[in-house]
Amino acid sequence: MPDVVSVRTALTFDRRDARNVKWRLVAGVTRHRRAEREASLGDPLNRRSWFLVLGLSLCLHNAEEILRAAEMLQFMQSEAPGFVRDAYAGVTVPELQGSLLILTAIALSGIVVAAVFSAAAAAASAFGMMALAALLGLNAFFHIVLFIQTGAYMPGLVTALLITLPISVTLLERARHQRWVPSRAFWAAVAVGVVAHGPVLDALFRMSLNLMRA
């Protein structure tokens, strides 16, 4: 028959074992939930890298347009569709170059903010970058359509074909596959990017022109 001390010792170890099992279960559940969250939002470091790649593609695309701004302006004022010619009427080469620099700085500022807060505000930063990717993809498509329509080279076409279009499409596909945001939010971000390419981009272009002329 076991003595009282042995029984108490056994009970003490049983309680410790029970507590250890409890804490292991809690830790396991926590790790599982964290893994599920990261899987649904994508790896923060991976997303941050893609944000920076998107920013680099934007810089390269706008650099092509800035360096060949004279050709771009001539195309916009003579061979582009009527509504585009109206938007660029009276614009000079230095004004166009300055406007493109301002627009690039605005976009890069947003990308940096999204990259810095890609973990703390994962869904919001991902939404913004997906919208920008959709805008750049549509802009690349716009370059291609103008080339097919006019048969003339417009600065930005080369980087649109080789850089911004494939990077934008790849980022959006990765975001959808890794579920950076829920499905509805993904398509909402794409819609925001498409709409922003029209009135929002036009408003920013006019604002940057006003800054250049001030």
Distance CA 112, CA 183 (A): 25
What's the pLDDT tens digit per position in 93-119? 999 999 999 999 999 999 999 888 877
Q: Would you say residue 75 has pLDDT above 50?
A: yes
Q: Per-domain residue ranges for the chain?
A: 1-41, 42-213
What three-state secondary structure class fits 117? coil
Q: Is the per-residue pLDDT at 185 higher than 60?
A: yes
Q: Output 39 or 147, whichever has higher pLDDT.
A: 147
Q: What is the band of 168 on the pLDDT scale with cuts at 50, 70, 90?
A: very high
Segment 9-67, tens digit of pLDDT: 554 555 555 566 556 655 555 564 554 454 444 555 588 889 999 999 999 999 999 99
Per-residue pLDDT at 36? 46
Cα–Cα distance measured from residue 14 to residue 57, given in angstroms and rounded to the nearest whole number: 61
What is the reported pLDDT for 40?
Answer: 43
Question: In which band, very low, low, confident or very high, does the pLDDT at 7 lie, cut at 50, 70 and 90?
Answer: very low
Alpha-carbon distance values, 147 to 57, 140, 152, 156 (Å): 20, 11, 6, 11
Orientation angle between helical segments 69-78 and 93-116, nearest 10 degrees: 110
Which comes out higher in pLDDT, residue 114 or 131? 131
What pTM was estimated for this model as a whole?
A: 0.77
Question: CB pairs under 8 A, 24+ apart, for 67-71?
Answer: 67/155, 68/155, 69/93, 69/96, 69/97, 69/100, 69/155, 71/153, 71/154, 71/155
User: Closest Cα to residue 167, out of 136, 144, 188, 194?
Assistant: 136
pLDDT at 48: 85
* Span 83-93, average pLDDT: 92
